[in-house]
Amino acid sequence: MPPALPACDRETWSRTAALLLLGFICYAAPWSVFAALPIPADDSSVLRIQGSNTIGATLGPALVKGLFEEQGLSAIRSEAGPAANEQKISGTTADGRSVSIEVAAHGSGTGFSALQDGSADLAASSRPIKDSEARALATLGDLNSPEAEQIIALDGLAIILHPSNPLDALRIEQLAQIFAGDVQDWAQLGGQRGPIKLYARDDNSGTYDTFKELVLSATGKTLAVSARRFESSEQLSDSVSQDPHGIGFIGLPYIRQAKAVAIASGESQAMLPSVTLIATEDYPLSRRLFLYNQPDQPNPWAKALVRFAHSPRGQAIVDRSGFIAQTVQAVKVAPNSAMPERYQTLAREAQRLSVNFRFQQGSATLDNKARRDLERLLAYLKSQDKLRQKVVLVGFGDPKADPARAKLLSKLRAMAVRRELAKDGVIFRDIAGLGDELPVAANYLDDGRIKNRRVEVWVY
């Protein structure tokens, strides 16, 4: 059973994150001030963002407003676009010129299509780019590269019920059976008798793509035709909260009046979509939120927005928007008898940081998020005076025929993170490999094995 990080209410998280960001600002000072950006003479929009409704509804516009403030614009305002789920954010320069950015939120897939036909400068996506999309956009460059793929926030898919529903936890396999229509009455799950009514996002939604990948496709299921489909996250959540027989899936900020249930995958314990469990990506339905742009981005406003999203001010906006900022925080983990003895000692004596390092598929190379997390972790260690003999790296993996091999591979993953941090002067207290202990996902699935191949960071 993996250790569940303690649930952390958003107010506490925000206060802690704010303190940590103060230390990060010193390290990341070049990101905190932008040079004045060019403004077209014809008053056309300086940037067009297309894609995810999860990002485009609130987070995208909030980041745009933050960038406008950085640029010294005033009278910042938002107005509805020509179609539903479209916005135009505008501001005024000191000399009275108008600047605007367009945000269209019709689903992650539409963002990549817009990049391809030139109608957008940035694609907002709540799931990674598909291989077919990357191939279609190859003329723009490698959209999987660190220059193109920008992880700007973390989110978790919440499984939501009507507040009166007595169920508190479900397994991934049960979720798949429910949304495939194989289980049609709540009594089959130990609930009160009554028909199960399904609520789902539309086919263009990255939220739906994520659910399909992590729940339906992973178990060989497809969504039941009886499911009601929604383009709007808010409408879906409100519909479930008004239907005693309803169940739906939604991004974390859109739980609203509904009830979220704990989710278990494989041998992991059931986990609620808490801030800390999503920050470490241990929660089974956690996900990353992306901005994609061509690696050689010619639009300076697109470059500036990406930089701002990664900056301390940008990540503070992520937090205020209801998503999970990629801010490093130390949390205390309660030891329990299910943990290996070495891990119990860590839990008693040290604190775990809210960052896990993961790797590219089939590779010992750190993925794009991990590369930026190295910078965030280093900034935290410097601000907390923990560069020397204070850090422990713990590697994990998936089962192998030879347990000794699993333990060796897990330690090699920790060593890969050590090599990168040692370049900046970090001297470690210990490096450990715990093999296939404490899984956070199902090892019988490819994605589950990838998720279990991780490196945790602990500090004394």
Paired tokens of 193: 């008798």
Please tell me the distance from the alpha carbon of residue 397 to that of residue 412, in angstroms, as a whole number: 10
CA distances from 219 to 3, 296, 321, 444 (A): 25, 39, 32, 10
Q: Name the pLDDT band for 3 (thresholds 50, 70, 90).
A: low
Note the CATH number of domain 328-459: 3.30.1330.60
Identify the CA nearest to 238 among candidates 347, 138, 162: 162
Torsion of CA 460, 418, 127, 9, to 10 degrees: 0
Residue with tokens 């241990």: 282
Please tell me the distance from the alpha carbon of residue 307 to that of residue 122, in angstroms, as a whole number: 13
Q: Name the pLDDT band for 16 (thresholds 50, 70, 90).
A: very low
- In contact, 210 and 228? CB cutoff 8 Å: no
Average pLDDT over residues 127-150: 96
Identify the CA nearest to 202 among candidates 189, 212, 194, 193: 212
Lowest mean pLDDT among 119-123, 210-214, 316-320, 326-330: 210-214
Render pLDDT for 99-132 as a digit per residue (tens, 0 to 9): 999 999 999 999 999 999 999 999 999 999 999 9
- Judged by DSSP in three states, 437 sits in coil
Task: For residue 364, count other CB atoms closer than 10 A to its CB.
Answer: 12
- In contact, 149 and 124? CB cutoff 8 Å: no
Q: Name the pLDDT band for 23 (thresholds 50, 70, 90).
A: very low
Q: Is the pLDDT of residue 449 over 50?
A: yes
Cβ-count burial of 69 within 10 angstroms (0-12 exposed, 13-18 middle, 19+ buried)?
A: middle
Q: Is the pLDDT of residue 174 over 60?
A: yes
Render pLDDT for 64-89 as a digit per residue (tens, 0 to 9): 999 999 999 999 999 999 999 999 99
Q: What phi and psi values does residue 90 have, to the nearest 5 degrees? A: -130, 155
Average pLDDT over residues 309-320: 96
Q: Which fold has domain 155-277?
A: D-Maltodextrin-Binding Protein; domain 2 (3.40.190)
Q: Is the pLDDT of residue 332 over 70?
A: yes
Q: Across-strand partners of 296?
A: none
- In contact, 308 and 64? CB cutoff 8 Å: no
Note the CATH number of domain 10-153+289-320: 3.40.190.10
Helix ranges, 80-130 (H) = 108-117
| pLDDT at position 456 | 98
Please tell me the distance from the alpha carbon of residue 181 to that of residue 220, in angstroms, as a whole number: 13
Task: For residue 16, count other CB atoms closer than 10 A to its CB.
Answer: 16
Instruction: Catalogue the E-assigned strands of 311-369.
Output: 330-331, 351-358
CA distances from 287 to 151, 441, 457 (A): 10, 13, 20
Paired tokens of 343: 């891990």
* Domains 155-277 and 328-459 agree in fold: no
The whole-model pTM stands at 0.81
Q: Is the pLDDT of residue 137 over 50?
A: yes
Domain boundaries, the chain: 10-153+289-320, 155-277, 328-459
